[in-house]
Amino acid sequence: MTLAIDVSSLNKSFGTKHVVEDLSIRLEQGRICGFLGPNGSGKTTTLRMLCGLLTPDSGQGTCLGFDILREADRIKRETGYMTQRFSLYEDLTIAENLQFTARVYGLDRRRERVDGALDNLGLASRRDQLAGTLSGGWKQRLALASATLHEPKLLLLDEPTAGVDPKARRTFWDEIHELAAKGLTVLVSTHYMDEAERCHEIAYISYGRLIARGTAEEVVKESGLVTFHGEGPDVGALAHELAGKPGVETVAPFGAALHVSGTDRAALEAAISPWRREPFRWTEVAPTLEDVFIQLMGQAQDNFR
């Protein structure tokens, strides 16, 4: 096993705010790891420390075989970083943006590389279109082309599909998996549970601390959650009745149904027992990753309060 990332005890503070606290993570080359967690939990700060844009206050380890403290510049050369917001030049064409990126990295065969990137991501027919006139999905593809133009070994994606339609998101993820199959290691922060499930593994970061790690199936299993799916007339109105009852850790409407979850089966069944009769119907179901996500958010201590 070749580790692309092997870091331990990373810490980063801004003023009095301890944004990342004793975070350790190992990731094998060619794997896609999803970063989950509430806003302000330290996901972006962690990504920036891994690629050399931020220096940890303490901690140690390697990224792509380079020391994260002493060899940050070498890590940057081997890393592609796609920010949450479109950060290319909107008054340049697609091809001009990629040519600029090629010059920044000092790449040889610039014309050949740009043409290859345009072909690979289906942008060749749009090469002379201004970047600012692209839709969200096409901007995303251009940003990905720019982030991978220098053939990095590590790709960091910070909520790359926010505001993009489902079809464009699926196309994007197909491209990410193709890159990973060629050996590229990918870390991606996301709030979309379907995207998290497409990752080889996930890491849940809550207010600076890593509190869950593994495949989506492993994280769900290790949560110990028991979930009941309730249906019936106006079952959503029961959410307020059930919230806060002993044994009930999360209550979430799912369309016309309700998911009620907790780790204490007996207490949970006691909580829903007054409504386990007609016209309501209750079925035990496997908890979803979203159920676990909500549970973990509820347990987390906000370090910005």
pLDDT, tens only, 238-261:
888 899 899 999 888 888 899 999
Q: How many domains in the chain?
A: 2
Is residue 47, in this structure, part of any structural domain at all? yes
Q: Do 34 and 124 belong together in one domain?
A: yes
> Which CATH number is 250's domain given?
3.30.70
Q: Which of 287, 298, 290, 294 lies closest to 224 in space, CA to CA?
A: 287
Q: If pLDDT is split at 50, 70 and 90, which confidence band does 302 have? A: low
Q: How far apart are CA 147 and CA 84, in angstroms?
A: 13
185-223, pLDDT tens digit by residue? 999 998 888 899 999 999 999 888 898 999 999 999 999
Is residue 305, in this structure, part of any structural domain at all? no
pLDDT at 21: 94
pLDDT greater than 90 at residue 33: yes
Q: Do 203 and 233 belong together in one domain?
A: no
Tokens 């339609």 found at: 165
pLDDT at 123: 82
92-126, pLDDT tens digit by residue? 999 999 999 999 999 999 999 999 988 887 888 88
Q: Do 175 and 84 belong together in one domain?
A: yes
Residue spans of alpha helices (H) in the chain? 43-50, 72-77, 94-104, 110-120, 136-148, 166-181, 193-198, 216-223, 238-242, 265-272, 289-299
DSSP state of 91: T
Average pLDDT over every residue of 13-25: 93
Is residue 157, in this structure, part of any structural domain at all? yes
Q: If pLDDT is split at 50, 70 and 90, which confidence band does 153 have? A: very high
Q: Whole domain around residue 157: which residue ranges?
A: 3-215
Q: Do 235 and 148 belong together in one domain?
A: no
Q: How far apart are CA 127 and CA 182, in angstroms?
A: 25
Q: If pLDDT is split at 50, 70 and 90, which confidence band does 300 have? A: low
- Of 181, 215, 249, the residue that ends a domain is 215
